Amino acid sequence: MIKFNKYRSSKNLPPVSTASLPDIVFILLFFFMTVTVMKNQNLLVENTLPTATETEKLNKKDRVIEIFVGKPTNSSNANLGDEPRIQMDNKFITVDEVGDYALQALSSMPQHLRSVATVSIKADVGVKMGIIEDLKSELRMVNLLKINYTTYEGAAVNNL
Amino acid sequence: MKNHRNPQEVNAGSMADIAFLLLIFFLVTTTIENDAGLNRSMPPNITDNSVDIKERNLFEISINDADLIMAEGDIIDPKNLREKVITFIDNGGLPLEAEGYCNYCKGNRFADSSENPDKAIISIKAQRNSSYPVYVAVQNEVIAAYNDLRDRESLKLYNTPYKTIYSDYYDEEISEDKKKVLKERLEIIRALYPQKILEPETVNN
């Protein structure tokens, strides 16, 4: 007991070395640098995706054409109302324009990827099937037949 | 006389601060992408491609405006959908001596259900006012039904689940020879249970 007290009262505890702090921070930094994907689209529509279990990954970004569907967000467009809208290339487009914009996106892809191009439909949970069907028939019109209903991972019964 | 001085040392104390700044920048800009979804391929846009399908080979799923799901004429609980689809695909209703008899099917072999998995077609119909998440859920259940059946055959033939073969095939670190084997296996399993999902265009009424 006496010995213990003596030990506690000693004033010169060595300080914790912070020399390895930069290394730790660098490791974290490299982790985030490698997983970072810079956002290239500003979302103009609400976009909470439905959930599904049998998903396949879309990990090759260079062959994906993204189409967002959803209600316009309040902050950006107060005067657009509540009807779901389609967003491509950072702006709202109508259903009839989908084909044109999709072809434009397709033509900016390298030649060898055009045949495997996939259209990723990112539709909000609040969207009705009507607009999706219109979108699909427009895509069929321009012969873009591979589509992907992009979802979150999770039990599908959550949707119901 | 030589001036013996130590070269001045650069102070590395601020290194941590610089790294922190960079770290915070990347933290803020990071969006870990979650892109995954249900892949489907649509039929080409040809209008005169009507094919006669026997009624027994068609499993109709419709979703109405109130998001109720109907399969084969009855409103059903979405939880039972997968099972129903599996029994339909796996029925194998052709008689033993007929051509196209399904010898790997484990179904009930009813005369009013599908003839064999190759003939079995699932049709998913939605109204314009049905909601999208319900549609995705139905798609998901149908794909899950196919995956369950493919899993069963894959386990029987190669002792590995279909999912594993599939993900291994797309793994970059697997050698070419191995990929060839995997591709063959994928094709065999897919031929046993080919995915035939119809998405007829919605009629507005």
Residue A155 maps to which CATH number?
3.30.420.270
ipTM above 0.85, yes or no: no
**Interstrand relation of B74-75 and B69-71 (parallel, antiparallel or unpaired):** antiparallel
Which of B45, B136, B204, B205 is the mutation pick for testing A, counting most A CBs within 10 A? B136
Please give the pLDDT value at position A8. Answer: 55
Q: What is the mean pLDDT of residues B177-189?
A: 87
Point out the residue among A25, A146, A150 whose CB comes nearest to the CB of B35.
A150
Please say whether the beta carbons of B96 and B33 come within 8 A: no
**Interstrand relation of A118-123 and A146-153 (parallel, antiparallel or unpaired):** parallel
Total domains in chain A come to 1
Residue A124 structural domain: 51-159
Q: What is the mean pLDDT of residues A45-72?
A: 86
* pTM exceeding 0.90: no
pLDDT band at B202 (very low <50, low <70, confident <90, very high): low
Under an 8 A CB cutoff, do B30 and A150 touch? no
pLDDT in tens, B51-72: 777 888 888 899 988 888 998 8
Q: What is the mean pLDDT of residues A125-148?
A: 89
Strand partners, A52: A153
Under an 8 A CB cutoff, do B131 and A28 touch? no
Under an 8 A CB cutoff, do A149 and B133 touch? no
pLDDT in tens, A66-94: 899 998 887 666 677 788 889 988 888 99
Residue A1 lies in a domain: no
How distant is the Cα of A10 from the closest Cα of chain B, in angstroms? 29
Residue A135 lies in a domain: yes
In chain B, where the domains are located: 57-198
Residue A45 lies in a domain: no
Burial (Cβ within 10 Å: 0-12, 13-18, ≥19) of residue B97: exposed
Average pLDDT taken over every residue of chain A: 82
Picking from B132, B124, B118, B36, the residue whose alpha carbon sits closest to that of residue B81 is: B124
B141 interface with A at CB cutoff 8 Å:
yes
Under an 8 A CB cutoff, do B26 and A32 touch? yes
Q: What are phi and psi of A35, to 5 degrees?
A: -90, -10
pLDDT at B143 over 70: yes
Under an 8 A CB cutoff, do A56 and B38 touch? yes
Residue A5 lies in a domain: no
